Amino acid sequence: MALSIKFIGATGMVTGSSYLVTTAQSKFLVDCGLYQGGDAADRKNYQPFPYHPKELDFVISTHSHLDHCGLIPKLVRNGFRGKIYSTPSTRELAEALLTDAAHIQEHGATEKQIETLFIKADVDQALSQFETHAYNQTFISGNIKICFQDAGHILGSAITEIWVEDKKLVFSGDLGNSPVPIMRDPTPIAEADYVICESTYGDRLHEPPTNREKKLLAAIRYAKQHHAKLIIPAFALERSQDLLYTLNLFRNTNQIPKIPIILDSPLAIKVTKIYKKYTKLFDETFQQYLKTDQDLFDFPGFSQTNTVEESKTINDLSGEAVIIAGSGMADGGRVQHHLLHQLGRPENQVLFVGFCTPGTLGRKLISGATRVRIRDKSVSVRAKISSLNAFSAHADQKGLLAWLSGFNTNPTVILTHGEDLARQTLQGKVTRQLKRQVIVPKAGQIVKLN
């Protein structure tokens, strides 16, 4: 069979990333991600794979976000025993995130759960199948040559170059935004026959996050002045580290008063440890700061709470404190416990630092709800609720076009990982500005690469 790609997930949507590449001799996947965002998406996770997992020769994992690697343990549970290629830091982060996901699966924490997708033993089996390769180190699998390049999205995220038969394919993975704290810019690639590119923000430009620091500083100062709590719901991966890094810089430059800052999330603590191990992969500014401060995620007044008991004692703390806890949309996790205790007091604040999808507790609070239900209790909202325009971890339209313009071999561009409007808008731009052929596949479509 001729070389082809079947577009399984993240086609016309942004979750469930998975592309099946078929060559004359082999079959492999690029990503095997979880569908996220509502019941219809969730149901897809339980459908059988549209291929036999045992037939796959290998899987490439571009990064550790669950919408890119979250179904790998299910693949293993269904008999896949080939290699899983990733960067070393992606494997470590995937270990933390998938173990956490298995725990949630095993304890049936989601009401909508139909059956257990995978358990911890599947995650352990998957981890034993990982083979890691650093950025810019070419390796061979069968007669296919592969190389990871820094995508600048989160720690370990990779653009994947694949030389197969007489073609070169480049999968963008999720492409980073520029400039953002900590991460380097996405690596420009010059050559390809086909570029499979994400398009999450293909129809939008990011607003400059100019007031971000000011808002964060003002919220911390307010908490100090009013001897009150500032609760920041944040995702364990990337957003929590971004916050700690920013708070550390505030502390080093004496911009914030003395105030306890607590990271109350075992997963975020684990992920931060992994970030500290791989500081060499971070950008030039990070390297400069490292010369005068050896730990850019730790500072005087900062503490972290691992156990549930430690977490509960936070509510006995009198006086001011900043509490960072998951989840970012407040639809689960320890942050709910803090909200339950703190929302009723008008001197307290809740500051959202990321997007909250409709239906989540976070969205209800941002929209001005005066009463919310948390863990079967009705709570009145008297605390001050606000949100700030955080850095996006994804390139916007300008960033995507800039990266695509770096190819000098006039490749065919295949757009994935975007809603249809985002893909069509970017298609127009790439066709007109870069004069390249663009394919916008439908979910389930097989694209032949001639």
The residue (of 274 and 323) whose beta carbon lies closer to Zn ion is 274
Query: Token digits for 319?
Result: 């006086």
CB 278 within 8 A of CB 155: yes
Unique residue bearing structure tokens 């999968």: 171
Min separation Cβ 17 and Zn ion, Å:
8
Stretch that binds Zn ion, among 167-175, 226-234, 245-253, 402-410 (CB under 5 A): 167-175
Min separation Cβ 184 and Zn ion, Å:
16
Does 238 bind Zn ion (CB under 5 A)? Our answer is: no
Q: Please state, in angstroms and rounded to a whole number, the distance separating the CA atoms of residues 371 and 256.
A: 32
CB 194 within 8 A of CB 411: yes
Min separation Cβ 62 and Zn ion, Å:
8
Query: Token digits for 399?
Result: 């960033």
Does 394 bind Zn ion (CB under 5 A)? Our answer is: no
The residue (of 193 and 242) whose beta carbon lies closer to Zn ion is 242
Stretch that binds Zn ion, among 32-40, 168-176, 186-194, 301-309 (CB under 5 A): 168-176
The residue (of 174 and 320) whose beta carbon lies closer to Zn ion is 174
Does 264 bind Zn ion (CB under 5 A)? Our answer is: no
Min separation Cβ 447 and Zn ion, Å:
23
Does 417 bind Zn ion (CB under 5 A)? Our answer is: no
Contacting Zn ion (CB under 5 A), which of 9, 15, 65, 321? 65
The residue (of 177 and 348) whose beta carbon lies closer to Zn ion is 177
Q: Which has the closest alpha carbon to 144: 69, 57, 68? A: 57
Note every long-range contact of 278-285, with CB atoms under 8 Å and residues 24 or more positions apart, other chains counting: 278/88, 278/89, 278/155, 278/156, 281/89, 281/135, 281/150, 281/155, 281/156, 281/184, 282/182, 282/183, 282/184, 283/179, 283/182, 283/183, 283/184, 283/185, 285/181
Start-to-end CA span in the chain (Å)? 11
Min separation Cβ 197 and Zn ion, Å:
14
CB 70 within 8 A of CB 98: yes
Task: Kindly list the distances between the CA atom of residue 309 and the CA atoms of 2, 121, 141, 160, 263, in Å, as whole numbers in the listed order.
Answer: 58, 27, 48, 43, 14
Stretch that binds Zn ion, among 50-58, 166-174, 241-249, 359-367 (CB under 5 A): 166-174
Number of residues that bind Zn ion (CB under 5 A): 2
Does 174 bind Zn ion (CB under 5 A)? Our answer is: yes
Min separation Cβ 73 and Zn ion, Å:
18
Stretch that binds Zn ion, among 61-69, 75-83, 118-126, 306-314 (CB under 5 A): 61-69
Stretch that binds Zn ion, among 59-67, 237-245, 325-333, 440-448 (CB under 5 A): 59-67
Distant-in-sequence, close-in-space partners of 171: CB < 8 Å, separation ≥ 6: 19, 30, 60, 62, 159, 160, 162, 196
The residue (of 236 and 314) whose beta carbon lies closer to Zn ion is 236
Stretch that binds Zn ion, among 58-66, 289-297, 420-428, 439-447 (CB under 5 A): 58-66
Show the CA angle centred on residue 38, arms to residues 36 and 40, nearest 5°: 95
The residue (of 174 and 185) whose beta carbon lies closer to Zn ion is 174
Does 92 bind Zn ion (CB under 5 A)? Our answer is: no
**Maximum Cα–Cα distance for the chain, whole Å?**
69
Does 150 bind Zn ion (CB under 5 A)? Our answer is: no
The residue (of 174 and 396) whose beta carbon lies closer to Zn ion is 174
Which 3 state secondary structure label does DSSP give 258?
Answer: coil
Q: Which has the closest alpha carbon to 73: 32, 113, 23? A: 32
Min separation Cβ 23 and Zn ion, Å:
26
Stretch that binds Zn ion, among 26-34, 63-71, 124-132, 275-283 (CB under 5 A): 63-71
What is the DSSP code (8-state) at residue 432?
H
Min separation Cβ 448 and Zn ion, Å:
28
The residue (of 206 and 226) whose beta carbon lies closer to Zn ion is 206
Does 198 bind Zn ion (CB under 5 A)? Our answer is: no
The residue (of 6 and 65) whose beta carbon lies closer to Zn ion is 65
Does 242 bind Zn ion (CB under 5 A)? Our answer is: no
Q: Please state, in angstroms and rounded to a whole number, the distance separating the CA atoms of residues 30 and 164.
A: 14
Using CB atoms within 10 Å of the CB of residue 74, give its burial: 0 to 12 exposed, 13 to 18 middle, 19+ buried.
Answer: buried
Provide the total of helices (H) and of strands (E) in the chain, helices listed first. Answer: 14, 22
Stretch that binds Zn ion, among 171-179, 215-223, 290-298, 430-438 (CB under 5 A): 171-179
Min separation Cβ 397 and Zn ion, Å:
18
Q: Please state, in angstroms and rounded to a whole number, the distance separating the CA atoms of residues 366 and 343.
A: 13
Distant-in-sequence, close-in-space partners of 135: CB < 8 Å, separation ≥ 6: 87, 148, 149, 150, 158, 187, 281
Min separation Cβ 175 and Zn ion, Å:
9
CB 282 within 8 A of CB 181: no
The residue (of 250 and 278) whose beta carbon lies closer to Zn ion is 278
List residues near Zn ion by CB under 5 A: 65, 174
